[in-house]
Structure formats: C-alpha cells, structure tokens
Amino acid sequence: QVQLQESGPGLVKPSETLSLTCTVSGGSISDSFWSWVRQPPGKGLEWIANIHYKGDTYYNPSLEGRVAISLDTSKSECSLKLGSVTAADTAVYFCVRLNRYGGGWSVFDNWGQGTLVTVSS
C-alpha cells in the first residue's frame, strides 16, 4: 500500500514562497501521476497540479504563473512551490496519487493526511 507524507513549514509570510514535499513510500513513484490538492479551512477541494514521472505537468489555470510541481525520483519525492502567497492560500495541502483504472489518468486514489499551511505575518 502506497503511503504519502507531506512535510513543510506550517507558517508562511505573505508574498513569500510556500514549499512542500511529499514523500512516497511502499510503491514506485514511476507508476503514476502525482498531484497536489488543497482545502481552505471549512471549504471545498481545489486541484492544484499534476506531474508524471516522465515530466508532463499540468496546472490549475487560476494558479498558473505562481505554482511549480516537480519530482525527484531518486528520493521518491514530489514537491510543490507556490509563490507570492496571500491569506487566500491558507489551506490544508494534500499530496495525492492520480491513477489509471483502465481508462484515463482520472482517479485520485491515494491521499496523504494533509498539512495545514497558514499564510500570516
């Protein structure tokens, strides 16, 4: 069973860059797409980005220009960077495996526990 563990600072100052890492264990990082999804306190889910081990990346248009997703296959890590943060970026950030169950790459089937990032001075 693949396990995902997010890590990173819980507090980021406005205008700075949010940096998170997801460590993948119990499976190969080269099998799937890897994603970040966030959830502001008391609100719904927002898809942020996907990356495939071959390098294909996809971003939420509303965040494009501020966000970057990357993979380090040697460390089995997926990273997220979000620049110029504001209070609106305060959320629980989830690392998620995007899998393919016979059709397209469409199934978010394995979620990390999430990490709360607060943007505040």
Partner 1 sequence: QSALTQPASVSGSPGQSITISCTGTTSDIGAFYYVSWYQQQPGKAPQLILYDVTNRPSGVSHRFSGSRSGSTASLTISGLQTEDEADYFCCSYTSRSTFVFGPGTKVSVL
Nearer to partner 1, 41 or 121 (CB): 41
Nearer to partner 1, 75 or 100 (CB): 100
- Rounded to whole angstroms, the Cα distance separating 24 from 41 reads 25
- Give the C-alpha separation, 116 to 39, whole Å: 9
Nearest distance from residue 121's CB to partner 1, in Å?
27
Closest approach, Cβ 105 to partner 1, in A, equals: 8
What percentage of the chain's residues is helix, strand, coil (to nearest 5)? Answer: 0, 55, 45
| Binding-site ranges for partner 1 (CB under 8 A) | 35, 37, 43-47, 50, 58-62, 94, 101-104, 106-109, 111-114
With H, G, I as helix, E, B as strand and everything else as coil, classify residue 51: strand
The distance of closest approach from Cβ of residue 52 to partner 1 in the complex, given in angstroms and rounded to an integer, is 12
